[in-house]
């Protein structure tokens, strides 16, 4: 079976989720809260029989995930017609500010 020429939206969504789960911002929020629920005070635990997880919630929501994914497709995962293969030197020249 031949692979489709476009990255599936589910894969992009999964990559964004992994980025969030490994982010410094999320880690700092957990550390600052001492791995404790900000509403009921339950603390995260890995003790056998007393497992308790806490998660990090966006107070203002995340917005429109589909719009974020659309932007990724428009700007990063664009059509191969809008892509060019360059060596490191030429790529650096392409992005160098004009003097």
pLDDT at 99: 67
pLDDT at 31: 97
Residue spans per domain, the chain:
9-95
The residues, any chain, with a CB within 8 Å of residue 13's CB and separated by 6 or more, are 65, 69
For the stretch 2-39, pLDDT in tens is 766 789 999 999 999 999 999 999 999 999 999 999 99
Measured CA to CA, the distance from residue 92 to residue 17 in angstroms comes to 30
Report pTM: 0.74
For the stretch 34-76, pLDDT in tens is 999 999 999 999 999 989 999 999 999 888 889 999 999 999 9
């Amino acid at each position: 079976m031949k692979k489709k020429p476009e990255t599936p939206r589910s894969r992009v969504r999964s990559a964004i989720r992994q980025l969030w789960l490994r982010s410094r911002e999320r880690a700092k929020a957990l550390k600052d809260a001492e791995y404790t629920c900000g509403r009921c005070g339950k603390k995260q635990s890995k003790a056998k029989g007393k497992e308790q997880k806490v998660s990090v919630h966006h107070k203002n929501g995340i917005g429109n995930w589909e719009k974020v994914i659309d932007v990724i497709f428009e700007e990063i995962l664009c059509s191969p017609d809008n892509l060019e293969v360059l060596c490191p030197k030429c790529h650096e020249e392409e992005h160098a500010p004009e003097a």
